[in-house]
Amino acid sequence: MSATAINESNVKNLWDDSIVKGMTGVERLVYRSNCLGADQRITNTGGGNTSSKLSEIDPLTGEEIDVMWVKGSGGDLRTSKQENFSSLYYSKLLALQEIYDKQPERGPKTAAEDAMVGYFPHCTFNLNPRASSIDTPLHAFLPAKHIDHMHPNSAIAIAASRRSEELTQEIFGDRIGWVPWLRPGFELGLLMQRKVQEHPSLQGLVMGQHGLINWADDDRECYELTLSLIDKAAQFIDSKDKGEATFGGQKYETLDDDARDAILVELLPWLRGQVCQQKRFIGTLQSDPRILRFVNSHDAVRLAELGTSCPDHFLRTKIKPLYVDWNPQEETTEALKEKLSAGLAQYRQDYKAYYEACKHENSPAMRDPNPTVVLIPGIGMIAWGKNKSESRVTAEFYNCAVEVMRGAEAMDEYIALPQQEAFDIEYWLLEEAKLKRMPPEKELERSIVLVVGAGAGIGKQVAHRLAKEGAHVVCADLNAEMAEATANELTKIYGQGIGVAGTGISGCGPAIGVGVDITNRESIQAALQQTLLAYGGLDNIVVTAGVFLPPSRDGKLSDKAWQLTFDVNVRGSYNLVDEARRIFEEQGLEGSIVLTTSVNGVVGKKGSLAYDTSKAAANHLVRELAIEMSPLVRVNAIAPATVIEGSTMFPRDRVIASLTKYEIPFAESESDEALCSKLAQFYAQRTLTKRPITPADQAEAAYFLLSSKSSKTTGQIINVDGGLHEAFQR
């Protein structure tokens, strides 16, 4: 077909012959997959499969053989590379049918069908370690060389309509067939094979309650066929669009951005505490026009209760969302909380009843009964996941579910997957095994940490150390640009994540940067608001911000300098903890706070009177806050000695002044790094360990105090000073 026939408002043809020229067959498969995955209208994140049957040289025999390359388990088309595809001897895959035919009790959802997945590794070509997807038979048993199995909203809308088979015929004619719902696997592959054998001219199939699969013997032709079918379905839906009557018309009005954010800031800590009774979740907020049109509508209550249709959707979104019928124009936030509280209780009861009614003797234990999607009129959607990427995927999938419902209701009537079928996907033993194969979660993967002072020095190192443990890091600093630079570094290292949802700052990855002045409560409130809107809550705080103002040559310090020293080093930390207290209390989740004091707080010396006194006060602030915040939040501190490396408190002129003071030889031409190293080595000789103290040393101590390893420790100040005996606690 011609690419010009495609309406680019529905899909976009990204194929470029100049790019694929000279590529191997596998490289072309990866390219095709990336083009398909790049368009959210074609398939959702992590969803869909592509395959190519290619000629390869058998490493054992040296002969040319047919090998099927297919997207492996857990892959994402948008980001996939060759290593994300499994490769299997095609002849061996076909031979599996003979093994299956010999099973005495074969059929859909039987042990025999599931057992066939265990044979896939025996078909592996060239020791490829990528595990095969459960969709492998769908590609193996269809004869075409190139196959695309996508989850476009327009096609799923057809698949999830009551008159799905008739609509397929009406829209596509005889070129596209239809098969009823069957759980992905061996039986579905055989059903498709029979369908094509009966109708060899078919170019694809609409899969009831599931999606679209189509094929061709040329890879570009397959790609463009995929686009044309999606476009055709979308155009048909558009022709039936109900306009303002979509979803029965609007029942409520959307709140303006400021009103919405104010409600969310008040609501989110409490709501996060409610849904995190078993495990912590990270939130993503979605308030785009499409989701708002749904949550504000008359039909939202009915459709939300039906749940989702496509199995890829409800593996993330659960059997259904929690919809709260709250009037944003007339009811208060307190009324919203009351309705949410009742709704959550009912949701958990419903989920337990669903589990009890559908479970089998060998079903895994019931999972967390709390919703992962919460829908609120006037506000939008709040999605939850174990980390930011997961929650963005959850939001993305429910966005897709809403569009599926819109399309199905425009053409016909939306129907959800039957509960038993949904359960058999959600609690499928093969899916359970897949979950168990996943690497263990990192220590802070479900945590949100605010690091103040993250623009440089110790704070920056702390941000990197915590992100390494999976933390979602809010990098805060008086210098907002430096905070954002640190956040960008973390996002570059750990990736934005695979989800594509999230409104405003909530579309972020594992880190954000914000400006904050901890001497100003309004500035602190703004930073905490950004934290809540980005991630939905707050678990830990680390404060590394501090100031040292040197006295004049005669040893004097102005009243203004004294005030600023105490404002930053003492009152700033108190301000921050005091403002965050409501969040911790509303969540009801255990947290941890780490402040930064100094060994100067217990060592008297000449030349830093205000600084040393402020740090002594900060030490006692730690003890007082530990009492104030108990038993929910632990409060501890790290007490560094002179950390030169990367510190904004040691600019070049101060380093030179110190080198001169201590009569350490240096040359004006030496670099900042060389001068700092000399001073650090000098200070190191004062310690018992004789080694310079680095930001990484402080970061390691801060991580320890946040982690479960110190769960019984609070009110303590840990010296990280190399061993200054003058600073030993008395």
pLDDT tens-digit readout, 448-478? 999 999 999 999 999 999 999 999 999 999 9
* 462 in any annotated domain: yes
| Threshold 0.75, pTM exceeds | yes
22 to 17, 34, 88, 162: CA distances (angstroms)? 10, 17, 24, 46
Range of the domain at 160: 25-240
* Domain identity same for 630 and 704: yes
* Domain identity same for 263 and 341: yes
pLDDT tens-digit readout, 353-369? 999 999 999 999 999 99
Residue 338 has pLDDT above 60, yes or no: yes
Domain end call among 387, 407, 437: 437
* Domain identity same for 557 and 666: no
CATH code for the domain of 553: 3.40.50.720
* 353 in any annotated domain: yes
Residue 76 has pLDDT above 80, yes or no: yes
524 to 63, 219, 238, 514: CA distances (angstroms)? 69, 55, 47, 10
Is-contact 551 557, C-beta < 8 A?
A: yes
* Domain identity same for 394 and 492: no
* 725 in any annotated domain: no
CA-based torsion, 153, 158, 162, 164: positive or negative: negative
Q: What is the structure's pLDDT at 313?
A: 66
* 515 in any annotated domain: yes
* Domain identity same for 521 and 580: yes
Strands (E), 6-93: 49-57, 64-71, 85-89
Q: Which of 252, 611, 683, 703 is catalytic?
A: 611
CB contact set of 311 (below 8 Å; sequence gap of 6+): 183, 184, 209, 210, 417, 422, 425
Q: What is the structure's pLDDT at 683?
A: 75
Residue with tokens 């011609």: 2
Cis peptide before 631 (omega within 30 of 0): yes
Q: What is the structure's pLDDT at 2?
A: 40
Q: Which of 543, 570, 496, 487 has its CA nearest to residue 706? A: 543
Q: What is the structure's pLDDT at 3?
A: 44
Residue 404 pLDDT class (50, 70, 90 cuts): very high
Q: What is the structure's pLDDT at 667?
A: 85
* Domain identity same for 81 and 225: yes
Question: CA geometry: angle at 521 spanning 520 and 526, to 5°?
Answer: 105
* Domain identity same for 480 and 402: no
* 266 in any annotated domain: yes
Counting residues of the chain whose pLDDT is more than 70, the rounded percentage is 98
pLDDT tens-digit readout, 529-545? 999 999 999 999 999 99
Q: What is the structure's pLDDT at 83?
A: 95
Kind of pairing between the strands at 633-640 and 591-596: parallel
CATH code for the domain of 74: 3.40.225.10
Q: Which two tokens stand for residue 479?
A: 């210098």
* Domain identity same for 284 and 421: yes
Domain end call among 407, 437, 467: 437
Residue 46 has pLDDT above 80, yes or no: no
Q: What is the structure's pLDDT at 646?
A: 67
Strand pairing partners for 719? Answer: 639
* 8 in any annotated domain: no
* Domain identity same for 424 and 280: yes
Residue 643 pLDDT class (50, 70, 90 cuts): low
* Domain identity same for 679 and 715: no
Q: Which of 379, 369, 144 has its CA nearest to residue 253? A: 379
CATH code for the domain of 366: 3.40.225
Average pLDDT, rounded, for the chain: 92
* 569 in any annotated domain: yes
Residue with tokens 């259904």: 320
Residue 425 has pLDDT above 80, yes or no: yes
* Domain identity same for 404 and 322: yes
Residue 252 annotated as catalytic: no
Count H helices and E strands in the chain, helices first: 26, 18
Is-contact 204 213, C-beta < 8 A?
A: yes
Total count of domains within the chain? 4
* Domain identity same for 169 and 302: no
Q: Which of 64, 114, 72 has its CA nearest to residue 89? A: 64
For the segment 633-650, the average pLDDT, to the nearest whole number, is 82
Residue with tokens 């600019």: 651
* 107 in any annotated domain: yes
